[in-house]
Structure 1
């Protein structure tokens, strides 16, 4: 449980394990309607992004970005694959999506609840904080993920 008193649904960690085993490309989490539990909102499976038939990385990433709401906060995990000339690499990225135009109360709850989810997901390589789409653009995340290859 986080310092805000928000808990995790039973599916949060098992979904992350599926992502680590390459069965999912991404997971988007949100707070339940009563703001007491972090729950799954969407996965790459909902977009038909199964790992055995993935589109190009940039296309998969665009589908992920399209699933983030413009006016509300979310947490997300993305298995970010890239090639920087030394062969394919993959980094699991944890996103805290808190757009500038989201309600202040939502930003506060998401901010104070993040640590509970983040600690439960062992194996995250990179954390990305996004307040607008430029901060989560493919090239921006590529730069952060490729540091310290």
Structure 2
């Protein structure tokens, strides 16, 4: 349970394991339920592009997300893949929502083992493909 008192649904871990091990999902979007008691799976997809994934992030509310990010470095090393955890907290979201998501982040983060990178986004430029590619293709643990 998080500092905010928000729990993490078992479905969160199950969906993450399916993405990580079975490659059954390309991304998962998580939200805090309407009663503000639990982090739940809002949506998952198996074949959508990164651009399609970005359309799932609301312009005026917070979300957590996981994306199985594939990329090539261009030096004949082939495709690489990293699982990225997103904390989406747009500037236009309410202060209450931003605070709730910020104080609940550790709870979901602890249940998701195997995250290669973490991206904090407050506007779409921070989660644009090129921004994410720059971060994951150079950081430690690039493999």
TM-score (normalizing by structure 1)? 0.90
Aligned equivalent of 1:14: 14
Deviation, structure 1 residue 3: 1.2
The whole-number CA distance in structure 2 between the counterparts of 1:129 and 1:77 is 12
Aligned equivalent of 1:30: 31
State the Cα deviation string for residues 64-94 of structure 1 (Å, max 9, x = none). Answer: 0001000000000000000002211100000
The whole-number CA distance in structure 2 between the counterparts of 1:4 and 1:67 is 25
- Aligned pairs, how many? 137
Tell me whether 1:116 sits opposite 2:117 in the alignment. Answer: no
Unpaired runs of 5+ residues, structure 2, are none
Q: CA RMSD in A?
A: 0.9
The whole-number CA distance in structure 2 between the counterparts of 1:138 and 1:109 is 27
TM-score (normalizing by structure 2)? 0.93
Aligned equivalent of 1:44: 45
The whole-number CA distance in structure 2 between the counterparts of 1:42 and 1:23 is 13
Deviation, structure 1 residue 125: 0.5
Unpaired runs of 5+ residues, structure 1, are 55-59
Partner of 1:38: helix, strand, or coil? strand
Partner of 2:133: helix, strand, or coil? helix
Tell me whether 1:98 sits opposite 2:99 in the alignment. Answer: no
Deviation, structure 1 residue 17: 0.4
Partner of 1:23: helix, strand, or coil? coil
Aligned equivalent of 1:57: none
The whole-number CA distance in structure 1 between the counterparts of 2:83 and 2:9 is 21
Q: How does 1:119-138 map to 2 (within 5 A)?
A: 119-138=110-129
The whole-number CA distance in structure 2 between the counterparts of 1:97 and 1:103 is 13
